[in-house]
Chains A and B, each alone.
Chain A
Amino acid sequence: MSDPILSLKNVHTHIEQHHILQGVSFDINPGGATILLGRNGAGKSTTLKTVMGLLPASNGSILFKGRGINKKKPYEIARMGMGFVPEDKAILATLTVEENFRLSMLNENEKSHENLEEVLDLFPALKKFWKTQAGLLSGGQKQMLAIARVLVCDHSLLLIDEPSKGLAPIVVEQLGESLIKIKDKTKVILVEQNFNLARQVGLDCFILDDGHVVYQGLMEELAKDKALMKNYLGI
């Protein structure tokens, strides 16, 4: 079995006086998509932000590709090959679609230009709005851009936080198709409240509750366990 791409051991995170993550531990293997599930306030987004270095872990260890990243700055973690798509359609609204993409390339070169072509094949709608200010795009297009943007870099791990939030069902469907294609190329950790989308995209999952991992297993097994679903996801 291959080494985990990301490994969290007893990670604790505080936001001001609140103890949000209370000893989160899991290993994420390369390939495919892993889903982080849980109710609102369970600590899913906090987990992603802690991994990305945007929130400091007060205790525990985080290994990315076998290297400790606890003390690293977010830009260092990004340069190690981790991409992050926050939950709030994290585009740069006053920049054009083109500028959003070119900014994400970090170092523009032939490879990143080729990546861009591939990404635009995946999200063709964005090509039409190439010179448009990103803030003027629709909600779905903004989310597409937020995800597409991080794909131009050759990241080995993508953290995507609730991409379907606030999107129309038809857009969520398109998003699901894109995520399936993405996870075939890059390892994805997806935080998602929409269980159908999560099931469509992910093979395995973790459930967080009150800052702890309370379940780890396959999505299909989880879908069959109605009691667990009711207990931790309220479905």
Chain B
Amino acid sequence: MTQTPTLVEKDRMDERAKRFKSPTFNLQLAVIFILAVAPFIIPSFTFMDVMAKIMIFAVVVASFDLLLGYTGILNFAHGMFFGVGAYSVALILYYSKSPGWHHILLAAVISLVISIVLSLVISFFSLRVKAIFFAMLTLALAEFAHILAVQWTSLTGGEDGISFVLPGIFNFSWSGPTFFGTQMNGRLMVYYLILVCAVFLFAGLVRFVRSPLGRVLKSIRENEQRTVALGFKTFGYQIYAIVFSAAISSLSGILFAMWICYVNPDSVFHTAIMVNILLMVLIGGMGTLYGAMIGAAFLIVTETWLPSILKAGASFAPDVAIIQNLSDRWQLYFGILFVLVVMFFPKGVIGTIRAMLGQKK
């Protein structure tokens, strides 16, 4: 006798059937395809640099969104884990006499261990305090990590930082065969490594928020007391979220360091990075995960090309002093753009679009 499937089972079957046919899935494939062929279509370093940084920061921002948007935890130490990952790979490759693959793996393991231990310590000591104190404590910790990287000159090279070389095909001096008129080289290989890792890490985050655990996190964000009354030990779930997001952030830090082959305290530990991550989440939309891509793209593209666009614009009026002066202050225009985004997309770009689509339904 065949049993009629329950509503939940029917839902699961529908989801499975639609999984690879949905417009969202096709859009994801299209984005990955564009990122994969982009270096062949526009073989410019600046363009590739922007794309690589968007991929890396999309993952970091999505992992921060897991905390802020899904769980309601404002953890200012999130950027610190990014720095931990970056410094792990940088220090190991810098101090190894002949850098090899295993050094990168070792760096991944070490950064994961440090991040997990640190995030557990943060969780146990500060998650029980009120949200605002948790934010302040984590901010202080992040600042401490920055100071440590500056002061521990003998290990980290202080403010000057350290540059290193990558092993094998990731070494920037490596060159390989030519494909479609583009010479394969170490930089391109790192680009593809970032693409593959970013896709896997992002998929991991998507899987995490769609799992039963993700549902509990959303519930905690909405009302912790109700979640507790339903039978969930919310403290434990918050720890999962903090540890998982810290691990993802530190792995992204490794990718970032591998891309620029240089780290210094300001490039990976500075509070400004955390502020940028926060801005990216707000622009893309909190609690959307995919908004991380939009936020990262908006900020990185603006930072990279807005100054040149302003300069080009100012060249049409070379004698007007005020225009010349204003063209140097791209942050002012960025601020205006940010205000406009917040005004027209109050829930972030993805959040507002989702809300509009929800209203239409």
Contact = CB atoms under 8 A, between A and B. Distances in A.
Nearest to A78: B231
Contacts of A94: 218, 221-222, 287
A54 B230 contact: no
A125 interface: no
Contacts of A173: none
Contact of B226 (A92, A102, A133): A92
B222 A52 contact: no
A86 to B, nearest CB: 7
* B contact face: mostly helix, strand, loop, or mixed: helix
B8 interface: yes
Interface in A81-114: 84, 86, 90, 92-95, 98-99, 102-104, 106, 108, 113-114
Interface residues of A, number: 31
A76 B12 CA distance: 30
Contacts of A75: 228-234
Interface in B284-317: 287
Contact of B6 (A54, A78, A113, A130): A113
28 contacts: A52-B229, A54-B229, A73-B228, A74-B228, A75-B231, A75-B232, A78-B228, A86-B226, A86-B229, A92-B227, A94-B287, A95-B218, A99-B215, A99-B218, A102-B215, A103-B212, A103-B227, A106-B230, A106-B231, A106-B232, A108-B212, A113-B6, A113-B7, A113-B9, A116-B6, A117-B7, A130-B7, A153-B231
Contacts of A71: none
Contacts of B230: 75, 78, 103-104, 106, 150
How many residues of B sit at the interface, in one of the four size bands?
20 to 34
Interface of B: 6-9, 11, 212, 215-216, 218-219, 221-223, 225-234, 287, 358
Nearest to B5: A113
Interface of A: 52, 54, 73-75, 78-79, 84, 86, 90, 92-95, 98-99, 102-104, 106, 108, 113-114, 116-117, 120, 127, 130, 133, 150, 153
